[in-house]
Structure 1
Amino acid sequence: MKRRHFIKNTSLSGLGVAAASPLLEYLNLSKMANFQPVCIATWNFPNASLKAGEMLKQGASALDAVEQGVMVEEADIRNTTVGRGGAPDREGNVTLDACIMDPSGNAGAVVYLKNNTHAVSVARKVMEETPHVILAGEGADQFAREMGFEKEELLTEASEKAYKEWLIKKEYKPLINIENHDTIGMLCIDEKGDIAGACTSSGLSYKMNGRVGDSPIIGAGLYLDNEVGGAVATGMGEAILKSVGSFLIVELMRQGKSPQEACETAILRIINQNPNYKDFQAAFIALNKKGEVGSYCIQKGFSYVEYRAGENRNFPSKYYF
């Protein structure tokens, strides 16, 4: 830490950086106290943001809030894109992906996790109890048992029925803004000004066995820097993975762009990389150290929910097409 502070101080004095520069602004913000807690989450999951927001209001850490917030959706069997009740892959397996990041930059993730509703909690254990960042498949499942998570059946009666109906035609075409490829990603800033994030998903409905999307990948589905802010993604994971969009947004905010400007730049990057962009959805939300929020997507129809000052509201996102 001493070396880090020395580099900051000598760099700023040597270059004569003006007080209004983006870097100095964020360094000053990092010293502020009495931040206003804020929670934002992808799509319209008001119960999740309400849980996290109320925890923040009571003084909980951002890390605890994001974990408990997304757990609400993981446990809701009506949500066929997250946790128990998630749509299976083409072989009938419900497999989950999740990641979590704390204000210190530590991260944990699980991919192709079976038999555990709360993938985000297993990811947190990976972050806190192992020297690794990602555990996959059988190894992740074994680790969950060792950490005390009970084995669960994730395929519900409703999701099994839908799967059997899908087997008749076996059509694989994700529908824009239909809940077959959605994710809950959440960012929170607590009263200390610390930022944490989480992202959890059951992935594309009827995906190929073994497929992993962007949701558990640090830098793609989620990224944050406690001195700057954070971003999370949702939509077509393959396109988001190739753009490393969440990392890009945080770096753009570091350079002084607003969360909105950064999200728009990231979506334009995806559009430029994918001539077929009209055939899928991709979306980002971002939160900076000031508590400012940004959101942008390819197609009309994406929204995000925000908890701030006791109010829990859903906002339609700005869009490109």
Structure 2
Amino acid sequence: MQQLLKHLVSQPKKNLNRIGIKGCGFSVPPNIRGNDDPIFHQVITVANAQGIAEKDLFTGMKERRYLAQGERIEPLMVEASQLALQRAQVIPEEIDRLYGYASVPEFYTPNSLYLVHKGVQLPEHTLVVPMNNEFSTFLLGVLEACTAITAGRSKYALIACGTNWTHYMDYTQGHALSIGDGAGAAVVGPEADFELIDYATQTLSVQYGAMTMQSRDTQRATYKITEDTGIYSFQVSAMEGIPTMVQSLLNKHGLTGANIALITHQASRVLMDHWAERLQPKQYLDTLAPFGNLTLASYPVTLAYHYLNIATDYLVFAAVGVGYHQTALLLKRHNR
């Protein structure tokens, strides 16, 4: 990927196809859950052995959208995808790659990204690529789509991410305070509004198992952050790792925070305020207050929500994810 990007950047401007994000869309359910919802009365408030109450790490939410019992995330992913296609002025028949993930899926396999293919009426030759890489699925989808298009293997790709995590929460856990449901999508192709310039990534696999979604006391899977390694991932790896990675990426291209609009993981205002202080972006775009933490869908939803109001020459995505890993993308704006 790095070699392809270097080749692309090194070409004269007249030969550039300007590959990146052409348009995006989002969809959230109508049901709203506020901070005073009775479901949050179960949240444990006692501090752990390190003196930390998990709930105190998850702040900044006002409302979250949620799927009612029996409602599914795939129709929202289809709607977000259709809006992205309209904005990009690309028809379904032109999409030859579909990346993304529906989380949590109906089955262990296949992922219901295949239902999105059906709902959007994509052609049979479209390659469907489910990417189970919480929470950086959208960023990896952009990377893989740009790689395929640069290599001449694809013309247009669609990335669709949806989360229904409110159905898979243990509401005694502090992180449950932040979770909402929703879906976002984007079209990647040539003559893009936001051209992919570069990326950075880091994998800290020693923290494998610190954050997991699995069946525990019941048949239904729930998310958990361990009291030791998981809290460390939050307070150290994510807190300091994201601004260090993004700053290194900016330095590489002679940029500063004043040049960028920033979209990050948005689990908590605790993290986001720290990242804002460290990076000083001209615009810090988020949807935490109205929609809560949309996990893997936060990135395309936030992009679509703020798309017309991005006022900087560069856009940076910064994702953290279980495993543990973190990834950042640098894109250049061309839609002025």
- Shared fold per TM-score greater than 0.5: no
**What TM-score does the superposition give when structure 2 sets the normalisation length?**
0.32
Higher percent of residues as strand: 2
